[in-house]
Amino acid sequence: MTSSLLPTAAPPASGHSRRRGRPSRRFIRRAAPLAWIGPAIILIVIVVLLPVVVMIQSSLQKISPDGFVLGSAGINNFITLFGESALSGVLLRTVIWTVGVVAVTMVISLGLAQLFNARFPGRRVARWALIVPWASSVMMTALIFRWALDPNNGVVNVVLHDVGLLKAFNSNEADWLGRPVSALAWMMVVAVFVSLPFSTYALLSGLQSIPEEVYEAARIDGASYWKLYTGITLPMIRPAILVATLINVINVFNSFPIIWEMTRGGPGYSTSTSTTFMFTLKQSYIGESAALSVINFAMVIVIVLVYLRATHWKEQVD
Amino acid sequence: MTTLVTPTATSRVVARPPSSRRRGGAASAKKLILALAAYIVAILFLLPYLEMVVVAGRPAKELLSRNFFPTHFDWSNFATIWSTGFGGNLSTSLQVAGGATIVVLVVALPAAYYTARHRFRGRALFLLLVLATQMFQPAAMLVGIQREFLGFNLPSPTLSLILINAGFNLAFAVWILNAFVSSIPVELEEAAVVDGCTRIGAMMRITLPLAMPGIVTALIFTFISAWNEFLVALTLTLSAPDSARPLTVAINSYVGQYSIDWGHLFAGSLVAMVPVVILFAVIEGRVVSGLTAGAIK
């Protein structure tokens, strides 16, 4: 009935044999790709490449808080930036934030992927719950956690008080977001929470690509569950783990809404990462903020280079 | 019809027995435990959003009380929010997300089709450029974006936000459309050409309809990420009138220096979230391959 879908129905592709034409025709053939990919190139240049140029340029300029260029600054913006007493703390926190959130996310999603890959009734519905944090705006998710941590009547404090772990409301103890260490810890929890859905789905895709026969053979040989997992599952989903990890690193490093909505990077700069610090600086010291952006961007480039290697992107493109 | 035994049909029949094998009571007990664990995880993921509903339905007088649920629910926040100018913000978000989606479709579709069907000099470089747009997020170059687009002096920030969101979501669309077009045999188009179609006609009538799931995925994904985008919108609408701010920025403005309008904040959040969560459920199974540039299928 669907005879036109059968490959045999298609005649040999002789209709458009390539002929070497006159120079004008050759030019048209050379330029043909541009008609198709040109708009994409223009959009990328305007939105992605030019901002990088402007950013680097701004990092070398003296700029007033309202945005006027007052002349060249040489490397003064970088010197001021490295003189900031808050900078070392910010960079250290950026490392803790990125490494901590990604590591915890990946470990938990390995478990979740295994769980959601198993067959049980209602699996589809259960998986849908996972996409809610993924599809929702991260800033809104961060705000509900800020509400839940309110020192006066946040749900977290109410529960802790009910079980006897919290002595008094409105105390220093109850003010989770007022203390730098506990604030950072809670924000990392939120960052893990919103990173889990993508990571779990990515690992699920990896798990689904493993043919069942591989396990059958190993089971016949009497391998234990743990042996199957470390011997077959983990090595087979290694590429998925690697790619998901690197994408998470980029996302978490660049993450802004969680910290901004929960503490604004404060008190002081004590819960800032380099992304939120860049944003705070931008409000009055544009040149210095551009200098920090240049450094952030350099870090992103390093991560991207690792990513390109890890995904063997060249082979994929062909 | 069923008498037609193709190679794929036979291999499916062979593959069936191991997967549908049944074991006794131990297996069903294990299944029950797994299901319970998964349901608990699912509820944990939903809890913060259920709490959002509870806060949005709390009467203003009970916003400081320590009960898990208010004595009664009062949904007036969902009505009064419209008098705070929320309608204007909703309309701005629709324009930004809708506009970005259209731009992505117009720009990504030809690029994805051509790179899937043709090998040409510069193809790999172009695809690398596209990949870069996915890896470099606006946060890393925010100062540059702000200074460049303010310099353009566009009449409203909406236009800038459309372009920026389209640019940073281009990669997802190109990857997923490229994969879909590649999976459609070129012979189908050639057969149509032999039957009298033009090459463009063959693309429009044969390939694009077959690639429709990919197109829908790309459109919905772009719409959702532009809808949820916060940092660039916050930066570019600083001096804009209230109604020119998209939902995320409007909701952020309920967070005051000394007090927060929690009821409206979460009522607004729910209005913003529910439609995109439903849209996301449509494309859920195809998102990963687009986000990982096909590295995970």
Model confidence pLDDT, tens digit, residues B105-148: 999 999 999 999 888 888 888 988 888 888 889 999 999 999 99
From A113, which residue of chain B is nearest by alpha-carbon distance?
B38
User: What's the angle, vertex CA B91, arms to CA B164 and CA A275, rounded to 5?
Assistant: 40
pTM metric for this prediction = 0.87
pLDDT band for position B9 (cuts 50, 70, 90): very low
> Which residue from A7, A198, A243 is facing B187, i.e. has the nearest CB?
A7
Model confidence pLDDT, tens digit, residues B166-189: 999 999 999 899 988 988 888 888
The answer to whether residues A183 and B275 touch, using CB atoms and an 8 Å cutoff, is no
| Whether A300 and B135 lie within 8 Å, measured CB to CB | yes
Question: Any idea which residue has 């695809």 for tokens?
Answer: B127
Residues B269, A142: Cα–Cα separation, whole Å: 11
Q: Write the DSSP symbol of residue A13.
A: S
Q: Which of A144-153, A233-242, B284-293 has the lowest mean pLDDT?
A: B284-293
Residues 295-314 of A with CB under 8 A from B: 296-297, 300, 303-304, 307-308, 311, 313-314
Residues B291, B152: Cα–Cα separation, whole Å: 31
| Whether A307 and B135 lie within 8 Å, measured CB to CB | yes
| Whether B277 and A131 lie within 8 Å, measured CB to CB | yes
Residues B146, B127: Cα–Cα separation, whole Å: 26
The pLDDT value given to residue B27:
75
Higher per-residue confidence, A24 vs B211: B211
Average confidence (pLDDT) over A100-110:
96
What residue ranges do the domains of chain A occupy? 86-285+303-317
Q: Which of A25-34, A133-142, A247-256, B9-18 has the lowest mean pLDDT?
A: B9-18
> Which residue from A115, A119, A296 is facing B140, i.e. has the nearest CB?
A296
The pLDDT value given to residue B251:
92
The answer to whether residues A15 and B190 touch, using CB atoms and an 8 Å cutoff, is yes
Confidence check: pLDDT of B8 > 50: no
Contacts of B254 (CB under 8 A, 6+ apart): B260, B261, B262, B264, B265, B268
Residues A170, A152: Cα–Cα separation, whole Å: 5
A–B interface: beta-carbon pairs under 8 A: 319
Q: Which of A27-31, A53-57, B209-213 has the lowest mean pLDDT?
A: A27-31
Contacts of A78 (CB under 8 A, 6+ apart): A59, A291
Q: Is B217 on the interface with A (CB under 8 A)?
A: no
- Tell me what ipTM this predicted complex has: 0.86
The pLDDT value given to residue B2:
38
| Whether B48 and A297 lie within 8 Å, measured CB to CB | no
Question: Where in the sequence of chain B do the CATH 1.10.3720.10 domains occur?
Answer: 85-291
Q: Is B124 on the interface with A (CB under 8 A)?
A: yes
Plot region of B240 (φ>0 → left; ψ -120 to 50 → alpha; else → beta): beta
When the pLDDT of each residue in chain B is averaged and rounded to a whole number, the result is 86
Q: Which of A47-56, A188-197, A290-299, B193-202 has the lowest mean pLDDT?
A: B193-202
Average confidence (pLDDT) over B144-168:
92
DSSP H helical segments within chain A, as ranges?
23-44, 50-59, 76-83, 87-117, 123-135, 138-148, 155-162, 180-208, 212-220, 225-228, 234-236, 238-253, 257-262, 274-282, 286-311, 313-317
Contacts of A2 (CB under 8 A, 6+ apart): none
CA distance A219 to chain B (A): 12
Average confidence (pLDDT) over B186-193:
86
Give the Å distances, CA to CA, from A240 to A118, A132, A190, A254. Answer: 18, 22, 23, 21
Please identify, in words, the CATH class of the domain defined by B85-291: mainly alpha
pLDDT band for position A11 (cuts 50, 70, 90): very low
The count of C-alpha atoms lying within 13 angstroms of the C-alpha of B170, restricted to the half-sphere facing its C-beta, is: 34
Residues A56, B143: Cα–Cα separation, whole Å: 9
CA distance A128 to chain B (A): 7
What share of chain B has pLDDT > 90, as a percent?
47
The pLDDT value given to residue A316:
66
Q: Is A163 on the interface with B (CB under 8 A)?
A: no
Confidence check: pLDDT of A71 > 80: yes
Higher per-residue confidence, B11 vs B229: B229
pLDDT band for position A258 (cuts 50, 70, 90): very high
| Whether A243 and B292 lie within 8 Å, measured CB to CB | yes
The pLDDT value given to residue A211:
87
Closest residue by Cα to residue B177 from B281, B106, B227: B106
The answer to whether residues A130 and A109 touch, using CB atoms and an 8 Å cutoff, is no
From B292, which residue of chain A is nearest by alpha-carbon distance?
A243
- Domain A86-285+303-317 listed as CATH 1.10.3720.10: yes
Confidence check: pLDDT of B10 > 50: no
Confidence check: pLDDT of A7 > 80: no
pLDDT band for position A172 (cuts 50, 70, 90): confident
